[in-house]
Structure 1
Amino acid sequence: MTFIALPVLTRLYSVQDFGEYGIALAVVSVLSTVANLRLDQALLIAEEQEKKSLIFEGSIFSLVLTLISGLVLSFIFRLDMVAAICSGVLANTLIQSLYNYKFAAHAEYFCAGLNIFRSLIVIAVQLSLPLLMSIALIDSYMISSVIMIIVGVLYILKHQLYQVSWEVFKNYKDFVYANTPHALLNSFSHNLPYYVVSHFIGVQAMGFYAIVERTLRVPINLISQTLRQFFIRLFKTTQTNKPALKSSVLLSVVSLPLFAIFFVVPESLYLWIFGKEWLGVSQYFQILALGYWAIFCNPPSSAYLVARRNSKVLFKLQIVELCIKFILFAVLYLLLSDKLYILLAVPVALIFYNFAILYVVWRSKV
């Protein structure tokens, strides 16, 4: 739904709007992964009597961290940007906890409906508000986030999907101390190009990068929000690494033709879809598509390590991947006159990281 709405959104909002929106989403993405200390992931393998306590504990952690982050960010961004970021973080963590709680109970249809609801709210607000008033993209995002928070809280209260407790999270300290640093590094590494592009290339280029990244993330969001949770639940009781290896290789091979399409699509098609203001966007698609296909091998292999409670391996690999990305950004910036091509650091780092995880699973003894 997000992808289908893009041709309309790119005509309702400016490239500058998408640039600011991209920066806001980058910060939201980083904070959302750690706001509840990854207790949403623990829901997938927790005992039934512990899940409601994890929802409560995760929500409190998320609220406290969001308030602290909002105070710090107020010295960096405008207040409307800070409000959009904080509401986005709270909405993401609340919806993800609810999603994982239901997914662990095999309520796949509910989870599908929840994803549809989330997308519908975002798209409906972004499409309708510009028809009624002059509004920035980040402001419409804030309004949609507040709506999701209200609906999510009401659902949890109505169905009593919480239990006041401060003890259960101690049983999942590995998610807090190992999975959280990995998730933070992973999110920071993924969103690092936003900061690099805005600083070294410009906000105009940030708008291009944001729209491309948003488009390519459509299939990736599917596998990260659905397949990864499925594999974590599946590998909780699996004693061999063979299913993870087979699934990773299969997903990687199947996804390759999908991303190869972006190398043959003419510029005129992009302009027809997004509008004439987006001339040159095809280069961004080609650069990022080089490495985004590699992410498809990640869900089974990383899920296997999470289910086996071995997230410390992911953390170590993420450090190496981030170092590679930093070095490549610096080298390409110094060597290339066209600064756009510093983004080549993104696909190179993605290919290394995702296939390194696959290699670790392959070397695993169980």
Structure 2
Amino acid sequence: MHLARKYQSIGLITLSLLVGAIMTFIALPFLTRLYSVHDFGQYGVALAFVSVLSTVANLRLDQALLVAKAEHQKSLIFESSVFSLLFCTVIAVVIAYVYNAEMAIAIALGVFANTLIQSVYNYKFAHEAEWFCAGLNIFRSITVVAVQLILPLIFTINLLNSYSVSSLLLAVVLLFYVLSQRLYEVSWQIFKNYKDFIFSNTPHALLNSFSHNLPYYVVVHFVGFQSVGFYSIVERTLRVPINLMSQTIRQFFIRKYKNQNTPREAFKSSIFLSVLSLPFFAIFFVLPESFYLLIFGQEWVGISLYFQILALGYWAVFCNPPSSAYLIAKRQSNVLFQLQIVELIIKFILFLGLYWLCADKLYMLVAVPVALIFYNFSILATVWRRPK
């Protein structure tokens, strides 16, 4: 009973994300038949940009909400939204020039919706409003999946444009909620009290996101949009539990370790999560190709290899949340940044080496699991070495 009460918060949020994950997984066989592999390739590249740019659009002030003083939180929501809106406007112009207007709109709307949702989510989570956070997770999943499923039945539309519509809808709903509930205070100075999130947490988050999405840029350049389509489906499947880790469990541990100096507990929690998740990722090494074709359709021949390459590295991510949360809660994100630089260097070296050594350029993706294993276990070792 004590353990249940202790982790009631994380259990509720985890359940909501599980519901969203189930909806997304059930929708995938339909989506892969409504949209082409090329569509998923474009969508994957757009999401890669959204993921990277979302880390800098609001200067990580959404993360600052988790440790901010109560009287500062509404001001941080306002400042975060303003920074994000200005950033998205500029980036839309740049991307439209480099790519096209369609890609620019999708990325700008995706970034703004992401930062706004995360600000509201973290504000509510900091106030222990777990039921609201759980509802927001489910609402977000329902909106994205519903739009992607319904729009192709009404219009001729690609996956990139349907993503733009879902992002716009989410942004409008969240803005209405923030304004109606007055979850903001007009301010231009409060962010200065959280400069460490800007100068330490932001570079780490940006580098982490860039490193994670680097395979998209590599694959689209050396192999093409078709392979990016395969990669995006695999990542979309495997990222379900990863998103649960990064968006929910990490917030829980940041809040928990804010006033606790317990590196050993963070280490033990990391080991527990990695062991618990191992059977899930092991499944992908035994599933036959026919199973994937039954789910995704006959157009997706060869996708099992992508699952096998990525599964081991993604498993290593499960030891990350408690350990990285401990460092963030102690406002030591500079440690994560330093490890991320080393991880990115390793990934670049492996990409180059595998490019020259392998005739099939697809095997360049082996760099991803190797680099992920190094990075996440390095964080674990860093926390283990902390004094009790």
Find the aligned partners of 2:101 and 2:384 in 1 and give their Cα distance.
48
Residue of structure 2 equivalent to 1:196:
218
73, 79, 83: which is aligned to 1:57?
79
State the match for 1:211 in structure 2.
233
| AA at the equivalent of 2:41 | G
Alignment of 1:179-258 (within 5 A): 179-258=201-280
How far, CA to CA, are the matches of 1:169 and 1:179 in structure 2? 13
Query: What is the one-letter code of the residue matched to 2:165?
Result: I
The residue that corresponds to 2:12 in the other structure is none
Q: Distance in 2 between matches of 1:68 and 1:101?
A: 27
Aligned partners of 1:75 and 1:317: how far apart in 2? 34
Give every structure 1 segment of 4 or more consecutive aligned residues whose post-TM-superposition deviation is greater than 3 Å: none
Q: Which residue of 2 aligns with 1:40?
A: 62
Calculate the TM-score normalised by the size of structure 2.
Answer: 0.94
Q: Distance in 2 between matches of 1:28 and 1:272?
A: 30
Indicate which of 124, 139, 145 corresponds to 2:167.
Answer: 145
Residues paired across the two proteins, number: 366
Letter in 2 for 1:307: A
Rounded Cα–Cα distance in structure 2 between residues aligned with 1:39 and 1:299 = 19
1:1-366 to structure 2, matched below 5 A, reads: 1-366=23-388
CA distance in 2, matches of 1:341, 1:332: 7
- Which digits, 9 at most, give the CA deviation of each residue in 1:22-75, with x for residues without a partner? 000000000011111000001001111110000011111111111111111112
SS in 2 for 1:350: helix
Deviations 1:271-298 (A, max 9, x none): 0000000000000000000210000111
Helix, strand or coil for the counterpart of 2:228? helix
* TM-score (structure 1 length as normaliser): 0.99
1:88-134: CA deviation from partner (whole Å, max 9, x where unpaired): 00000000000000001111111011011011111110000100111
Please report how far the alpha carbon of residue 240 of structure 1 lies from its aligned counterpart in structure 2 after TM superposition.
2.1
List per-residue Cα deviations over 1:223-248 (Å, max 9, x = no partner): 11110000000000111211101100
| Superposition CA RMSD, Å | 0.7
The DSSP-based 3-state class of the residue aligned with 2:98 is: coil
The one-letter code sitting in structure 1 at the alignment partner of 2:189 is E
Q: 2 CA distance for matches of 1:198 and 1:315?
A: 27
Aligned to 2:157, what secondary structure does the other structure show?
coil
- CA distance, structure 1, for counterparts of residue 177 and residue 314 of structure 2: 35
Give, as a single letter, the amino acid of the residue that structure 1 aligns with 2:100: R
C-alpha distance in 2 between matches for 1:32 and 1:276: 34
Partner letter of residue 18 of structure 1?
Answer: F
Q: 1:365 deviation in Å?
A: 2.0
- Give 1:222 deviation, angstroms: 0.9
Distance 2:96 2:34 in 1: 28
Equivalent position amino acid for 2:306 in 1 = Y
Mean Cα deviation higher: 68-77 or 273-282: 68-77
Percentage of matched positions with identical amino acids: 68
SS in 2 for 1:74: helix
Q: 2-side partners of 1:139 and 1:71: how far apart?
A: 17
What letter matches 2:107 in structure 1?
A: I
Cα distance, 1:256 vs structure 2: 1.0
Q: Secondary structure at the match of 1:81?
A: helix
Superimposed CA distance per residue, residues 207-236 of structure 1 (whole angstroms, 9 cap, x where no aligned partner): 000000000001111111110000000000
Structure 2 CA distance, aligned partners of 1:206 and 1:164? 42
5+ unaligned residues in a row in structure 2: which ranges? 1-22
Distance, in Å, in 1 between the alignment partners of 2:102 and 2:255 is: 39
Q: How far apart, in 1, do the equivalents of 2:40 and 2:149 lie?
A: 14
What is the distance in 2 between the residues matched to 1:174 and 1:3?
Answer: 38
CA distance in 2 between counterparts of 1:133 and 1:68 reads: 30
1:106 alignment partner, SS class? coil
